[in-house]
Amino acid sequence: MKKIMKTFMTMIIMITVSFGSFNTLPINVYAADTAEAVQMVSMYTYDEMCSDITALQSQFPGSVTTGSIGTTALGRNIPYFTIGNTASGHNILIQSTVHAREYLATQVVMKMAEYYLTNRQDILQNVCFWIVPMGNPDGVDIAQFGTAHITDEATKNFVLQTGHATEWKANAMGVDINRNFDIGWAQLTPRVNGRSYMNYKGDAAVTENETKALVAFASARQYDAFISYHMQGNVIYYDEPGNTTENSARSTQLATAVANVNGYELRNLNKAVATNEVQQGGFTDWVQIVFNKPAITIEVGSSLPPQAQSSVSSIYNRNRDTWAAIASLYTPYTQS
């Protein structure tokens, strides 16, 4: 056994010498320095996410707290967890997967949280990340399993009649959560006129359980910045029509810091009004105007699940160090 372990350690040293630091590795190589609570090789479900949150809390009791921001229409909790120092006075909200079919982003966010807990406690001493890894659990379950887990007959019939289960973006009620926030909602031209698998903005702003929960969570404390994960395009959307000059500058700084790490294209929504790229009714639109704080939407990857599953490790590696870059904007930390 000792001989085997010695050989294994020698191989690790040889690999480290050959490739140098992590950032010199090709982005499609899975990082070997992370723990294995969060799997990266197959479809990642709501139940797996909940189990992993519990495991991380057990493994890092001083650095992880958990809870729920609300309950979906089908009765699922919408979990959150924190990593870092809740008493630091520096809070960053990470929110992912309000669009159901973009569930691979949850897998990436969970693995990133695990990495920082395992390897970057230097950062977590001075900042707290408040993470909502799956903002639309009902929709994700539909996108992954169709009607298999739906016990409510009315909802099951709605999904069956609507179709497009694997392409599902909405919640179980057929409302696009990221078009349901109270920012420019009335001016948002409906892409569809009723409940659907995608793009319906709702009968009014903030009608959905998930929207209400995110509004309450974002309002519960002072955040330095807001990060929203979507798929796809390898793009970072930032700024917002109606932003103050100061917050436009802050959002630009935040987006640039992230792009300097992951290499994604930057798109300024404040300069894109004429091209109709502005997503009114969205979470990051809302928080920027309501709280006058910087926010960005990061569109990870170049395709959607299930085709994109093979690229999850590449997306993770490309984005892994972005949270360190974000933290450095608001609080000092010791680089190891």
pLDDT in tens, 58-79: 999 989 999 999 999 999 999 9
Instruction: Give the model confidence (pLDDT) of 298-316 as tens digits.
Output: 999 999 999 999 999 999 9
Q: Which are the contacts of 245, defined by CB distance < 8 A and separation ≥ 6?
A: none
Tally Cβ neighbours within 10 Å of residue 188: 17
User: Residue 229, SS3?
Assistant: strand
How many residues would you count in the chain?
336
Q: Is the dihedral of CA 209, 200, 280, 260 positive or negative?
A: positive
Residue type (1 letter), 307:
Q
**Strand pairing partners for 153?**
none
Strand order from edge to edge, sheet including 235-238: 64-71, 77-84, 128-132, 91-96, 225-230, 295-299, 235-238, 265-268
pLDDT at 203 over 80: yes
Helix or strand run (H / E) with residue 82: strand 77-84
Q: How far apart are CA 180 and CA 158, in angstroms?
A: 20
145-157 pLDDT tens trace: 999 999 999 999 9
pTM above 0.95, yes or no: no
CA end-to-end span of the chain: 32
Side-chain half-sphere of 144: how many Cα atoms within 13 Å?
20
Range with the poorest average pLDDT among 11-25, 44-58, 104-118, 311-325: 11-25
The mean pLDDT value for 90-109 works out to 98
Query: Is the pLDDT reported for residue 259 higher than 60?
Result: yes
Cis peptide before 332 (omega within 30 of 0): no
What tokens does 22 get? 């992590």
Contact criterion met (CB below 8 Å) for 152 and 116? no
Cβ-Cβ contacts under 8 Å for 37 (sequence gap 6 or more) = 52, 55, 56, 59, 114
User: In this structure, what token pair is assigned to residue 135?
Assistant: 């903002």
What are the beta bridge partners of residue 236? Answer: 266, 298
The tens digit of pLDDT for each residue in 233-256 reads 999 999 999 999 999 999 999 999
Q: Helix, strand or coil for residue 160?
A: helix
What does each C-alpha distance from 117 to 40, 47, 81, 256 come to in angstroms? Answer: 17, 21, 12, 25
Nearest residue to 135 (alpha-carbon basis) of 182, 91, 96, 172: 96
